[in-house]
Chain A
């Protein structure tokens, strides 16, 4: 904290008021409402709600579709993190290596970051459509790809659609991380270790741990929340709900099914998951990373 500060006075509240006001009305009020929804059940005509304790939670735990969505969300986050992280790192290392054209490569690789997930999904649609989708036909010729029916194939579809633009984000952060490593460290390691492959894994990669860790969180958040637009414009959950993320399922139950109690309970479950990931981040991983 600062040693020199202004004394507490009414003016501090003027500075805090706009953000606090917006957060209280448009964030805290809805969150309180979410908890209310989660512990009550609407009657059939929407006139009233009764307090039902944990019934809504018990219902979602009884619902096989919830576990299908849960399983998919975990697999999806893991695979997207792995794919986009490793391709992003590979590209960043090469871009950091080259003498000429570094900034051109950078420009040509970062722009997909700006495209909306929903737009990426609509584009992916064209490449996976049965009629003229190039990837659909390529994969179909290879192993009879058919995402309308095969769960595995629908996974491939949404994983490719979900990974494409996220490679850019990983690339930007890894490149920045690489450029922040001091030249002297790299030069010293070049004398000690001639094998550039081993040098990377023993010297450079450990120094990139803070970036890697940060990106894992970014990628998981992306797979959890931002992929809504991708799912909604590609498989819409096809073949039969196997490619619905938890967010997508909660939305569908609330919107299509008008089951606000279940949607509320599902939201609270997700808040808990996010909370666990965050605590894990602070407690476990942060302690094990060596910052340079």
Chain B
């Protein structure tokens, strides 16, 4: 009986937690399927209306921005390029750097270690204007390269890969050497397959990180052609239901990725604990 009571209590608490998470998003979604005059008269809605297709299609295809040069569809495309670029670039460079740090007897190893890891203490927000002037000097403002690379200058994934490599038994390299594998073959044929879970987790993490960037795209894109979804929220004009629809669409990609791939994500991040 007490078992039943405590477990009902747990379920109750969890349900309240879920309601706190779901209700706000649901209300914006439900409201996004109504007409603007309905919202203006009656406020946010709890139940679905019947303007779903009309509102969402309009938002996706509407030419917005100051110069009417960009559609939400193009912003999604830009965000996708940026997030994928950040994920791949940061994961590949981190995999390689961590490999050199763990598997080589390097001169000045400690110095190199600090040069790489001290950067974790200096997030982009702390060097945003100088980074911008560097980008301007290199002529990289308004380019995908400019959106992607400064965000990828991060050693967080390197730290994770380094921790993981350290747990790989020494015998693996010994036997690989006996098989005649050189450094490149060992990295590609042995170590990368072994780190697959960790790689997937880091790709997901960095993709969401890249997709969710707000301040940097705001600064580095003066041409509407390179606007991303998250910064576009602030830039797009439109009536209230169109804004609701845009907000809802903007959160769909990262949420889908986290929900669909949550097992890989959680397994990868926590495997060394």
Using CB atoms and an 8 Å cutoff, list the residues of chain A in contact with chain B.
1-9, 11-13, 15-16, 18-20, 22-23, 25-27, 29-34, 37, 87, 90-91, 94-95, 97-99, 101, 105-119, 122-123, 126-127, 131-132, 134, 164, 167-168, 171-172, 176, 180, 196, 221, 225, 228-229, 232-233, 247, 251, 254-255, 260, 263-264, 267, 270-271, 274-275, 278
B130 and A30 form a contact (CB under 8 A): yes
A15 and B97 form a contact (CB under 8 A): yes
B99 shortest CB reach to chain A, Å: 5
Q: Which of B174-192 contact A (CB under 8 A)?
A: 174, 177, 183-184, 187
What B residues does A117 contact at CB under 8 A? 212, 214
A251 and B128 form a contact (CB under 8 A): yes
A122 and B130 form a contact (CB under 8 A): no
Interchain CA distance A101-B7 in the complex, whole Å: 12
| Cβ-Cβ contact count across A and B, 8 Å cutoff | 255
* 5 further contact pairs, Cβ within 8 A, besides A118-B233, A119-B250: A12-B100, A33-B130, A116-B251, A232-B214, A274-B122
B247 and A118 form a contact (CB under 8 A): no
B104 and A31 form a contact (CB under 8 A): no
B93 and A19 form a contact (CB under 8 A): yes
What A residues does B107 contact at CB under 8 A? 8
B129 and A90 form a contact (CB under 8 A): no
A132 shortest CB reach to chain B, Å: 4
Across the two chains, which residue of chain A brings its CB closest to B21?
Answer: A112
Select B116's contact among A3, A20, A119, beta carbons within 8 Å: A20
What A residues does B57 contact at CB under 8 A? none
Select B211's contact among A116, A122, A172, A270, beta carbons within 8 Å: A116
Is B194 close to A, CB under 8 A? no
Closest 4 CB pairs of A and B: A33-B130, A116-B212, A132-B43, A30-B130
B191 shortest CB reach to chain A, Å: 11
Interchain CA distance A172-B259 in the complex, whole Å: 13
Check A26/B131 contact, CB under 8 A, given A4-B174, A91-B13, A110-B262: yes
B6 and A196 form a contact (CB under 8 A): yes
Interchain CA distance A105-B166 in the complex, whole Å: 34
A232 shortest CB reach to chain B, Å: 7
Interchain CA distance A136-B240 in the complex, whole Å: 18
A116 and B254 form a contact (CB under 8 A): yes
A118 and B231 form a contact (CB under 8 A): yes
B234 and A233 form a contact (CB under 8 A): yes
Is B198 close to A, CB under 8 A? no
Across the two chains, which residue of chain A brings its CB closest to B15?
Answer: A105
Is B123 close to A, CB under 8 A? yes
A114 and B208 form a contact (CB under 8 A): yes
Interchain CA distance A15-B98 in the complex, whole Å: 8
What A residues does B122 contact at CB under 8 A? 27, 31, 271, 274
What B residues does A18 contact at CB under 8 A? 92-93, 96-97
Select B170's contact among A2, A13, A110, A116, beta carbons within 8 Å: A2
Is B153 close to A, CB under 8 A? yes
Is B196 close to A, CB under 8 A? no
Is B61 close to A, CB under 8 A? no
B201 shortest CB reach to chain A, Å: 12
B196 shortest CB reach to chain A, Å: 19
A285 shortest CB reach to chain B, Å: 17
A114 and B102 form a contact (CB under 8 A): no
Across the two chains, which residue of chain A brings its CB closest to B8?
Answer: A98
A225 and B43 form a contact (CB under 8 A): no
Is B44 close to A, CB under 8 A? yes
A122 and B233 form a contact (CB under 8 A): yes
B149 and A22 form a contact (CB under 8 A): yes
A109 and B21 form a contact (CB under 8 A): yes
Interchain CA distance A275-B155 in the complex, whole Å: 16
B22 and A108 form a contact (CB under 8 A): yes
For B110-135 the 0/1 string (1 means CB < 8 A from A) is 00100110010111011111110110
A244 shortest CB reach to chain B, Å: 13
Give the most central of B125, B134, B273: most A CB within 10 Å.
B125
What A residues does B138 contact at CB under 8 A? 25
Is B158 close to A, CB under 8 A? yes
Interchain CA distance A127-B28 in the complex, whole Å: 10
A114 shortest CB reach to chain B, Å: 4
B93 and A116 form a contact (CB under 8 A): no
Interchain CA distance A106-B116 in the complex, whole Å: 35
